[in-house]
Amino acid sequence: MSTVVEEVGTLVAENVHEILESAAGSPAAPNAKIWSVLAEGGWGTISADPENGMELRDILEVARISGRFPYSTPIVSTLLAGRWFELDEEQLAAGVVPALRRGTEIVAPYYSEGVMVVDGSGAPVEAAPLSVESFSLLTPVALLSGATAEIHGSQLVEARAAYVAVAVGCADAVIEQSVAWAQTREQFGQPIKGFQAVRHHLADAHIAREQAWTAAIAAAHEPERSARWARQGFSLVRTAIELGIQVHGGVGFTWEVGIQHFLNQVIELDSILGETQ
């Protein structure tokens, strides 16, 4: 596998981006309607047919795009599941999410009614009915009470790479928002974009985001080191988002601006997929 994306990855990412962007409203909630648009377009099943030639590296491209719209659809995990398991079109169209271990609990990184949470054999996880209330914005993973089995081995390795890519998408969204803010916010009678201290924060955010993207790609290539790559990738994304908050000043610390949706998603993914020390 090369570090460079193939044409199929770019194509799927562009289309998924267009559809996700067309969804109005808060990015920070499961959006069944937008998922049905994606599923009807066949984008959830495209990795299941080997003839399409979609590899993990291509899924990373889609994952990065979807990270700009945190927890809105199960596109990333469904593409992974299509690659791992023999699932039929109907199951994939409903959305598939992997069960993941966090300490003694089993959790899912996305939840909406109708999706199927699967273990390492692709079978539905036997769990108490999933409660949407457990999907809060501060801890944006769904707790699967009663579940005992989770994905593992090579699936876990691939999930790590894909969710670091999702985190890079979170950084993309925050950096874009921070650049826009720096261009309009005025202090001392001039836009703050002219201050070198602010400009260097933006540059450092970009450097961290690019390094995190490298970590996602490396995680896909080095299974034995994937937990370490995940820890490093999530940490770098956090650095980028922290700088975005700083560039926003006090406004960045408010719930209303919404940077915390991205930051909380990254913190949560790190606690599930990063190396523990």
Partner 1 sequence: MSITRFDEPAAAEFRADVATWVRDALPKKWQTSRASLTPDEVQQAQREWDAALHTAGYAGLSWPSEYGGRGFGPIEELIYYEESSRANAPDGFGRIGRVLAGPTIIAAGTEAQKAKYLPRILDASEIWCQGFSEPGAGSDLASVTTTAKKVDGGYLVNGQKIWTSFAQYSKRCLMLVKTSSDLPRHHNLSFLLLDMEQEGVDVRPIRQINGEEEFSEVFFTDVFVADEDLVGEEHEGWRVAMTVLSNERGTTEAATRLVEATAQIDLLNRCCASNSRLDAARLDDRRELLRWHILRSTEEKAAELDWFQAGSILKVQWSELIQDSTRLGLDSGCSVHRDYWRHHYLASKAMSIYSGTNEIQRNIITDRVLRVAR
> Distance (Å, rounded) from C-alpha 47 to C-alpha 148?
27
Q: Under 8 Å CB-to-CB from 194, ≥6 apart: which residues?
A: none
Residue 183 interacts with partner 1 (CB under 8 A)?
Answer: yes
Residue 265 interacts with partner 1 (CB under 8 A)?
Answer: no
Q: Which range of residues in 91-99, 121-129, 146-154, 191-199 is near partner 1 by CB under 8 A?
A: 191-199
> Distance (Å, rounded) from C-alpha 229 to C-alpha 246?
26
Considering only residues 210, 223, 246, 271, which one is a binding residue for partner 1 as defined by CB under 8 A?
210
Write down the residue that tokens 């990063």 correspond to.
Answer: 274
62 close to 162: Cβ distance less than 8 angstroms: no
Length of the chain counted residue by residue: 277
Beta strand pairing call for 105-108 and 142-143: antiparallel
Binding mask 15-44 for partner 1 (x = CB under 8 A): ------------------------------
Stated as kind and residue range, the H or E segment containing 116 is strand 116-118
Q: Total number of residues binding partner 1 (CB under 8 A)?
A: 29
Residue number with CB closer to partner 1 (114 or 194): 194
Locate 152 and state its tokens: 């593992």
Residue 53 interacts with partner 1 (CB under 8 A)?
Answer: no
- Least CB distance from residue 216 to partner 1, whole Å? 10
Residue 193 interacts with partner 1 (CB under 8 A)?
Answer: yes
Q: Under 8 Å CB-to-CB from 193, ≥6 apart: which residues?
A: 182, 183, 199
Residue number with CB closer to partner 1 (19 or 215): 215
Binding stretches for partner 1 (CB under 8 A): 1-4, 175, 179, 182-183, 193-194, 196, 199-200, 202-204, 206-207, 210-211, 214-215, 217-218, 221, 225, 228, 232, 277
